[in-house]
Structures are given as structure tokens and as C-alpha cells.
Amino acid sequence: MLFAYNVEHAVNLLWRMELRHLRYFVAVAEALSFTKGAKKLHLAQPSLTRQIKDLEQEIGVRLLDRTKRKVSLTDEGKSFLADAKHVLAHSAARRLSNRYSA
């Protein structure tokens, strides 16, 4: 449930957001590690960290709690993860559907 407290704001954000930002967040959130997420995505870890910070600033919500040894999802991050996975799955299904209908 994407930002239940302000759905209109969330819809506007999704129009500006790129799917890669969602992929980046999902990789880090599933691994609970920037290093492992970066390896999975074949990106440099500092670049991925910057992208996630930029995403959090863009949407105005902290998605991850970070310490030197641990990454965990905030409550908003858990909600955003479910929504991001849904959007990415829908996008993949649309691409597949378009490929077979062309």
C-alpha cells in the first residue's frame, strides 16, 4: 500500500521515478546490504548508496535504517518494497505482453 497517508503525492512521485530506482531499492531491501545489492546489480556500492539516498530524498521518506554493520527496512520501507515489487512485476508483464502482441 503505497504511501497510504498521501496517495495523490505518491502517484505524482511514481510518474517522475524511473524503474531503475525501484530495482535498486528492491535489490538492497532484499539483501539488507548495500554491498550485496550492488554486486547483484553490477554497480559500485557508493553509487548505489547515493541512488537510494536520492530516492529517499525524492519521496521524502526514510526507507532504510542504516548502521555500520546493519541495514533494515523502516515500516515505510516495508510498504514501499511491496509496492515496488508490484510495479516491477506489472512492468515486466506489460513488456512481455507487448512483445507477443507486436
Q: Residues in the chain with pLDDT < 70?
A: 1-16, 95-102
Q: Over the stretch 5-19, which tens digit does the pLDDT of each residue have?
A: 455 665 566 656 788
Query: From the CB of residue 44, how many other CB atoms can be counted at a distance below 10 Å?
Result: 10
Rounded CA separation 89/83 (Å): 10
Domain 7-101 coded CATH 1.10.10.10: yes
Domain ranges of the chain: 7-101
Alpha helices in 1-102 (DSSP H): 7-16, 19-31, 34-41, 45-59, 75-101
β-pair partners for 72: 65
